[in-house]
Structures are given as structure tokens and as C-alpha cells.
Amino acid sequence: MFKISDYLKEENIIMELSSTNKKDAIKELASLLKNAPQIEDFNKFLEDVFQREELGTTGIGQGVALPHARSEVVKNFVICFGRSKKGIDFEALDEEPVHLIFLIGNPKEDVENYLKTLAHLSRLLKKEKFRTSLMEAKNPQEIIEIFRLQEQ
């Protein structure tokens, strides 16, 4: 089974985002992937993420946002995570501020994995206890461990 914990890396986790708005938060998270081997053209990837965001917010509610893009410049699945204790206005469906943001890049042609990943992540994030643990984690290792335990 596909596991987020296999792809989430410590260097791709921001424990406290400095951004205060949606656009800056996406850029701040994306900056972690600037030299990622999975992405051939960083600027095009970022453009694709913002284009997807224009179709409708990826703020799915309950303090969670999943900005993402299927892009021809992404060679392999990549994910990064950022947290905001204060919360960011992400134009979320429930109009609540977002605290947990997962930025996802996926190869354009790999629709099946892409949809499975979003569904898997959404299922995990529906659990209040899981979201609370992510909010309370002290460091990137803990974030990854929380996923590992849930995905066993």
C-alpha cells in the first residue's frame, strides 16, 4: 500500500510557517522543493499548483489544505508539509483558518496514484486525534512517526 510516511522527509517539513496568506504559504512550502530531483522545472510546477488552486480552493475544511498539481514537470510523487499555529485564510470550504498544509506534486500521467493519495490523506486528516497529534508534534521526526503509526 502507498504510504505518505515513505515520502515525507524531515527536510520537507516546516514546523511553523511564517506566511500569513494562502499564496505565500504555498510559495514558502514549495521553496522546500526547489532542488528536489522529482521536479524538473520548479517555476512551472509552482505555476501548475496556482492554476489548480484557481479552479477551487484546496482548503478542504477542519483546518486542512491540500494544494497540489499533476504536472508534466513532476517525475515522481513528492510531498511537503507546513504547519501554522495561528492559522492561514485559505478560502477553505468551511471558512475556517488552515493550520495543516500538505503540498503535493504528482506526474501528470499518473492519475490513479494521485487520486488514491489525496483520498488516503483526506481519510487520515478527517480523524481529529490525528490532526491534533500533528499540531502537537515537536519536530519533523515526530510528524513522520505520527504518519508511520497511522499507516501501519
Q: Where exactly are the structural domains of the chain?
A: 4-150
Q: What pTM value is reported for the model?
A: 0.95
| Residue 142 and residue 113 in contact, taking contact as beta carbons nearer than 8 Å | no
Q: Rounded to whole angstroms, how far apart are CA atoms 133 and 135?
A: 5
Please, are residues 83 and 28 in contact by the beta-carbon 8 Å criterion?
no
**What pLDDT does 2 receive?**
81
Rounded distance between C-alpha atoms, residue 106 and residue 115, angstroms = 10
Fold classified for 4-150: Mannitol-specific EII; Chain A (3.40.930)
Which residues belong to the active site?
68
> How high is the mean pLDDT in each 10-residue block of the chain (152 residues)?
90 97 96 95 97 93 95 95 96 95 95 88 95 98 97 92
Instruction: Look up residue 140 and give its three cell numbers.
Output: 519533523
User: What are the grid coordinates assigned to 96, written together?
Assistant: 475556517
pLDDT at 31: 96
Answer yes or no: are the C-beta atoms of 104 and 67 closer than 8 Å: yes
**78 and 39 Cβ atoms separated by less than 8 Å:** yes
Parallel, antiparallel or unpaired: strands 64-65 and 59-61: antiparallel
